[in-house]
C-alpha cells in the first residue's frame, strides 16, 4: 500500500512547568526549559491508501494542506502553546502531547480513500516524536 508524506513548518514557543510540583522539582525535571523558549518545528503528515483510479492520488495534497493549515498551523504557528491553545490547558506542551493534539485535530477531516497513518514532529535536529494514532503501535 502506498504512503504519501507532506511536510509543514511552524514556529512556536513554550515552557514546561507543573504547578503541582515545587520550584525545585520543576527545575530538576525540566531544567532550562522552565523558561519560555521557541522552536522551528517540522511536521510530517503521512497518509496511506490506494490511489484513486481517476486521479492516481491517495489524497489531493492541496486538500491536505488546507486541513493542516486550518486545524493545526492556525493554532500553533507563532503561539505560546501552553497559553494560547486551549487543549494544552492542563497538559505539558511536549512533542509527545503535540502529536496527539495534531492527530485529534486533523484525523476527522481526512476523508475519502486515504487514512491518516503517521505524524512525525521534529522539535530540534536531534529530537522528534512519531505517533501512529490511538490504535497505533
Q: For the segment 44-71, what is each residue's pLDDT rounded down to a tens digit?
A: 999 999 998 788 999 999 999 999 999 9
Per-residue pLDDT of 18-38, as tens digits, reads 999 999 999 999 999 999 999
User: Alpha carbon 79 to chain centroid distance?
Assistant: 14
pLDDT classification of 135: cutoffs 50, 70, 90: confident
Give yes or no for residue 137 having a pLDDT over 70.
Answer: no
Q: What is the H or E stretch that residue 65 is in? A: helix 61-68
Instruction: Please tell me the predicted confidence (pLDDT) of residue 48.
Output: 96
Write down the pLDDT at residue 53.
78
Residues with Cβ within 8 Å of 119's Cβ and at least 6 positions away in sequence, in order, are 43, 44, 45, 46, 99, 102, 103, 130, 131
Task: Report d(CA 10, CA 40) in Å as an integer.
Answer: 6
pLDDT for the residue 89: 94
Of 32, 35, 43, 33, the closest CA to residue 75 belongs to: 43
Coil, strand or helix at 77: coil
End-to-end CA, the chain:
18
Please give the CATH number for the structural domain made up of 3-131. Answer: 3.30.479.10
Residue 31, C-beta contacts closer than 8 angstroms, at least 6 positions apart: none
- In this prediction the pTM is 0.95
Which tens digits make up the pLDDT trace of 75-129?
999 999 999 999 999 999 999 999 999 999 999 999 888 999 999 999 999 999 9
pLDDT at site 112:
80
- Return the domain boundaries, the chain: 3-131
Amino acid at each position: 500500500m502506498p504512503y504519501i508524506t507532506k511536510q509543514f513548518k511552524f514556529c512556536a514557543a513554550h515552557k514546561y512547568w507543573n504547578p503541582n510540583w515545587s520550584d525545585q522539582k520543576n527545575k530538576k525535571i525540566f531544567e532550562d526549559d522552565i523558561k519560555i523558549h521557541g522552536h522551528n518545528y517540522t511536521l510530517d503528515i503521512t497518509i496511506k491508501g490506494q490511489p484513486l483510479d481517476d486521479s492516481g492520488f491517495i489524497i489531493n495534497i492541496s486538500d491536505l494542506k488546507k486541513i493542516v493549515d486550518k486545524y493545526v498551523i492556525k493554532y500553533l504557528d507563532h503561539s505560546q502553546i501552553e497559553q494560547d491553545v486551549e487543549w494544552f490547558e492542563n497538559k505539558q506542551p511536549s512533542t509527545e502531547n503535540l502529536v496527539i493534539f495534531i492527530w485529534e485535530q486533523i484525523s476527522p477531516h481526512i476523508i475519502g480513500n486515504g487514512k491518516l497513518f503517521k505524524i512525525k514532529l521534529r522539535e530540534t535536529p536531534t529530537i522528534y516524536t512519531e505517533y501512529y494514532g490511538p490504535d497505533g503501535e
